[in-house]
Amino acid sequence: MTGTGPVERAPAEIRALVRPEHVHRRLYTDPVLFDQEMRRVFGGTWCYLGHTSEVPEPGDFRRRRLGRRELLLVRGSDGAVRALFNRCAHRGTMLVAEDAGCAGSFTCPYHGWRFGDDGRLRNIPVPSSYTDIRSGRFDLGRLAVAEYRGFLFGTLAATRCRWPSTWGRSAPTWTS
């Protein structure tokens, strides 16, 4: 890595690793190629997260993984489905270890910070210890989520990427 950004392999260099008779093992073992794939595939496209039937009731959640990120697919008390990062905004501790369940909130096992099913910070043990605690900067991170015919898709892209026109004429319903 350089100070100017992530290292990338040139498209011609990558194409040279795939031939009709074989695929070079570097395609599977090169850490630079792996990082590049993580950024391009999981960081800039819509990826399948689940189906609305998996989180039918308010508070229902499923643990998911998108690239290297651990997520919680949650049906909020308002009925919206969200994909929240499964990491406490305070020190990065994993909030939920169970694969699925039902909870109105998520509490960090480390310091006891509690987050609502919408990802907002709801309570901390000693609020006077922190300034600007209600500003939203300590809320859980979330992905943009789209629903298409019950299928839920999310993207790690900082700005919502374009919905692929090849997926049908109907526009998705934006859930977050």
136 vs 142, higher pLDDT: 142
Does the pLDDT at position 84 exceed 80?
Answer: yes
Cα(27)–Cα(40) distance, integer angstroms:
15
Kindly state whether residues 108 and 122 are assigned to the same domain: yes
Kindly state whether residues 70 and 29 are assigned to the same domain: no
Please give the distance of CA 34 from its chain centroid, rounded to a whole number.
18
For residue 5, being part of any structural domain is answered with: no
First and final C-alpha spacing in the chain: 33
What is the structure's pLDDT at 87?
96
| Residue 20 three-state SS | coil
38 vs 140, higher pLDDT: 140
What is the structure's pLDDT at 100?
97
Kindly state whether residues 28 and 85 are assigned to the same domain: no
∠ CA 139-144-145, nearest 5°, is: 115
What is the structure's pLDDT at 44?
77
CB 100 within 8 A of CB 62: yes
Where in the sequence is the domain holding 53, given as residue range(s)?
A: 48-160
Q: Where residue 121 falls among pLDDT bands split at 50, 70, 90?
A: very high
| The two structure tokens encoding residue 148 | 């298409």
